[in-house]
Chain A
């Protein structure tokens, strides 16, 4: 396996969150370079790199950037998504605590490329301790003339403001995030019928994940080919994959796309803990359909491979489960999460999440029968493709994968006595 550190290259340097140390190791060099290149060239570099969003959807950055840049309104905004609430996902916190200047550098480059001057970092409320580290870095950057009226002495203003969330998973969805930033409940907006940017107080706005933005300095400095040197044709570059659950060494380890999943789990995670056998892996955060051990053994960490297995790469946060896990309990745990987090706008989601949660609870109490498993799949069908955002369809995918792949376990649970 090829070791590579693009976003994580300063993570292990003591004091890397401070400006002096970060600068000693190359921080803000890409900004100088970008000003020499000009905004159009920066955008082109990002397009040529093939960079895809790391917030869960994997949308190419290029198209979104163009939509914001090319909109006729001269006032544009950048919103950086650090809501990080997808269970199994904890990579953005590594960036904002270990290398916040990398994020600030990426923000400057992105603003410059699309013509924005005001950037907001929306941070989940629970990350208050981490928020202080990022704020410390922002303050340092202002004091050093890196942020503010002039960026490193050039005629370009960039202001960065942290906006603290208050505990709502749905605010990670990009339009809900902007509603929340506008001072409202975090309700996702209806999707437009054609491609357009996001909107913040009626102004064209770009929303990107922290890791996506933190990848920009490398692309600008080293060039798009250097990024494409890693990964696959359709999934270029690297990602901060995460391991949690039953592995010996949980954590965040950067790897190139296309890395075999089991090789990654063995190499970085040290394999399954306590000499147990693997049972299942949720590949990219709780909302991606679970893989059986056999599927995991054939999976590669890239968009194509996950898709061919009927799952998706999501945030790259793997939740590893050994043979001791009761899959009915695991599904129940996740459904309680979704029931709590549905924003409540759409009936199939608001009612459906409560209903499926209750059915699985009754399976665990042995108060259900086989017909209830089919009802679970029926409700799952109703939740798929009929709602404002993809929250409900994701829950549907989670239910289908658990119940279809581990049906025998659900049926055994029904037959057993408490």
Chain B
């Protein structure tokens, strides 16, 4: 599958370029545009970003693989990312993880057969005071309880 930036995204990147001393600074912004368009970064998209920035594709590949939030493969429509780090762990993360596993019928790192949900564990989400927390795509959910998880997942259907 080929990749091309949408007109709108290209314009936004061009506008952003004026704010930086070098076009190479647009690496993360450009990759975020790719993520926004496709939900993951394909090899084709890597070539397009490399061309756009004027850097070798391997440099883009190196960056994509360094950052946890960029994926080389598609994930479920809803990417559930439960925080596994200490404060969340102290405040009931284990129970929420078990609940999500049972409810979705998948384990960490798996996607439901209908392609709807992917379950991941991630490191501290910077919201330890409202633990346990999870993020679904770009939305943060705090003070989780099993009932709250039900409501949240219900709302996504």
Contacts and interface: CB of A to CB of B under 8 A. Distances in A.
A185 B20 CA distance: 18
Most A CB contacts (10 A, CB to CB) among B25, B26, B53, B128 go to B128
A203 B31 CA distance: 25
A166 B128 contact: no
Interface string B79-119: 00000111101110000000000000000000000000000
A204 interface: no
Contacts of B68: 166-168
Interface residues of B, number: 44
A307 interface: no
A126 B140 CA distance: 8
Contact of A87 (B16, B25, B28, B124): B124
Interface string A93-133: 10000000000000000000000001000001111110000
Nearest to B62: A185
Contacts of A75: 21
Contacts of A127: 126
A88 B63 contact: no
B129 A242 contact: yes
A341 interface: yes
A33 interface: no
Given A86-B124, A201-B22, A325-B90, A286 B85 contact: yes
B153 interface: no
A53 B25 CA distance: 26
B29 interface: yes
Interface of A is mostly: mixed
Interface in B6-26: 16, 19-22, 24-26
A88 B87 contact: yes
Interface string A69-86: 000000101000000111
B123 interface: yes
A161 interface: yes
Given A182-B24, A183-B24, A84 B126 contact: yes
Contacts of A93: 126-127
B28 A165 contact: yes
Given A183-B28, A184-B63, A201-B21, A169 B123 contact: yes
Interface size class of A (residues with CB under 8 A): 35 or more
Contacts, number: 150
Given A90-B127, A129-B139, A168-B67, A203 B87 contact: no
A116 to B, nearest CB: 12
B70 interface: yes
A32 to B, nearest CB: 26
Given A159-B19, A166-B31, A126 B126 contact: yes
B91 to A, nearest CB: 7
Interface of A: 75, 77, 84-90, 92-93, 118, 124-129, 159, 161, 163-169, 180-186, 200-201, 203, 242-246, 250-252, 282, 286, 317, 319, 321, 325, 330, 333-334, 336-337, 340-341, 343
Given A126-B122, A183-B28, A184-B27, 20 more contacts: A77-B21, A87-B124, A126-B69, A128-B138, A163-B28, A163-B29, A165-B28, A167-B70, A168-B68, A169-B123, A245-B87, A246-B90, A246-B91, A252-B129, A319-B90, A321-B90, A333-B86, A336-B84, A337-B124, A341-B123
6 contacts: A125-B32, A126-B69, A126-B135, A182-B25, A183-B22, A251-B129
